[in-house]
A and B are shown apart, each in its own frame.
Chain A
């Protein structure tokens, strides 16, 4: 079944950003980890959207 790729990708990115926001509210954010993980996460999400596009066709 095909997915709404925009909703899927932006939803994952929003969950990650919201998670960082909650982390900063209830603890000390390891910004070094965030700085390294954020681009990797974005690329993984983009790759997932590409794979969904391929599967869609």
Chain B
């Protein structure tokens, strides 16, 4: 029987690993984008533009990915990752570990080199890519520890020896095909024309060549089985959570964030403790849910509307106590405001810009905070960054009432004028 090679998966790409290689004919720099484009079946220009956009607008992710591609993608005709040739000690590493290490080193080098664009986003993406894309769970206790080669391995090794012998110039194959070639003259020395003929006659005696039926076939799993932990591990997690929430209660907090954060910390500690054996079932998803809850409570989106507000208030009775917008621009003109008593207004904007004109005839006290963005007022230079806050007071007649303005913007800009 003549075994035909499998057709390539995509054009001239080899169908064996690694599937991504760097072409030499269409490359611009190192050929990473050209290799990805060839694999995806798109124009290289599209991938190059995407890489540039990712480098500029995604905090240097394109640069990190390109450097990692140079280290991980072999050139056409090669089978070994370049990083394995550059650093021979990585040849014993599993492939996912090499990929994760290359991405991590690229990110650290760029970050240490002052490339400010590399922030938490690319790090999270790299972490997610490794965990969800390349991590391979390994069985802790394999049920099959072969102390000697399996029948298939023995047959494979013997077959490689036969092929090597056939490719040896001058090899006349005295014993291998004796049953079928006894009546034939000895094979002539190796010639190019005869090379392919030798490859086309691999199975001459199936009963002998494929005699691997002395043991049952090893079990084949598409996903290696990970031993499950015990539910009793939840006792540790719940005990730690109870201690944490009790401590928060003793400190007198009533809002939800410290309790959820305490539970998250407890679950995280329980995961680390259980990592020496096997994590309890569902503890990791529960931890992820607690993490999402913590993040949502730390970065609250104020309940409100989406849109723009352009309002001027002249009387304290017209001024609402709370102005909340989830997203939008708020222009608040209080320059003509008059009050008969002290009053407080809260302005809460999730994402957007706030232009605030302070009152002239009313003493005002502005307490502001911006989660991420910029603040400016006539008396101080512009301040930008994450988690910025401050206060501003204005003078007025001594007997004038006071307007307290609590201004909070999640992401955006605050401009205060007088």
Binding site for B on A (CB under 8 A): 1-22, 24-26, 29-32, 35, 38-40, 42-43, 45-47, 49-50, 53-54, 56-57
Complex: chain A residue closest to B93, CB-CB: A54
Complex: chain A residue closest to B277, CB-CB: A4
> Whole-angstrom distance between the alpha carbons of A33 and B340 in the complex?
44
Instruction: List 5 A-B pairs, Cβ < 8 Å.
Output: A10-B271, A16-B268, A17-B264, A17-B295, A43-B104
Complex: chain A residue closest to B386, CB-CB: A31
Contact A11 B298 (CB under 8 A): no
**Contacts across chains A and B counted by CB atoms under 8 Å:** 160
Contact B258 A14 (CB under 8 A): no
Other A-B pairs beyond A18-B263, A24-B261, A54-B93, 4, CB < 8 Å = A10-B271, A15-B265, A35-B386, A43-B104
> Whole-angstrom distance between the alpha carbons of A22 and B268 in the complex?
14
- Give a binary string over B246-275; 1 marks a CB under 8 Å from any A CB, 0 the rest: 001001010101101111111111111111
Contact B257 A24 (CB under 8 A): yes
Min CB–CB distance A7 → chain B (angstroms): 4
> Whole-angstrom distance between the alpha carbons of A26 and B123 in the complex?
28
- Give a binary string over B265-294; 1 marks a CB under 8 Å from any A CB, 0 the rest: 111111111111111000110011011001
Contacts of A19 on B, CB cut-off 8 Å?
261, 265
Contacts of A22 on B, CB cut-off 8 Å?
248, 258, 261-262, 265
Q: Assuming A2-B140, A10-B287, is B385 touching A18 (CB within 8 A)?
A: no
Contact B264 A50 (CB under 8 A): no
Contacts of A11 on B, CB cut-off 8 Å?
267-275, 287
Contact A18 B255 (CB under 8 A): no
Contacts of A50 on B, CB cut-off 8 Å?
97, 100-101, 104
Q: Assuming A21-B257, A24-B298, A39-B107, is B130 touching A46 (CB within 8 A)?
A: yes
Contacts of B193 on A, CB cut-off 8 Å?
none
Interface residues contributed by chain B, number (CB under 8 Å) = 64
Contact A26 B264 (CB under 8 A): no
Contacts of A15 on B, CB cut-off 8 Å?
265, 268-269, 272
Contact B287 A14 (CB under 8 A): yes
A57: contacting residue among B92, B122, B263, B297, CB under 8 A: B92
Contact B264 A4 (CB under 8 A): no
Min CB–CB distance A8 → chain B (angstroms): 4
Contacts of B127 on A, CB cut-off 8 Å?
42, 45-46
Q: Assuming A8-B271, A49-B100, is B120 touching A1 (CB within 8 A)?
A: no
Min CB–CB distance B46 → chain A (angstroms): 29
B57 beta carbon closer than 8 Å to chain A: no
Complex: chain A residue closest to B103, CB-CB: A46
B119 beta carbon closer than 8 Å to chain A: yes
Contacts of B29 on A, CB cut-off 8 Å?
none
Contacts of B284 on A, CB cut-off 8 Å?
6-7, 10
B262: contacting residue among A18, A24, A56, CB under 8 A: A18
Q: Assuming A24-B298, A26-B258, is B276 touching A1 (CB within 8 A)?
A: yes
Complex: chain B residue closest to A16, CB-CB: B268
Complex: chain B residue closest to A23, CB-CB: B261
Contacts of B295 on A, CB cut-off 8 Å?
17
B385: contacting residue among A25, A32, A40, CB under 8 A: A32
Contact A21 B294 (CB under 8 A): yes
Min CB–CB distance B56 → chain A (angstroms): 19
Contacts of B140 on A, CB cut-off 8 Å?
2
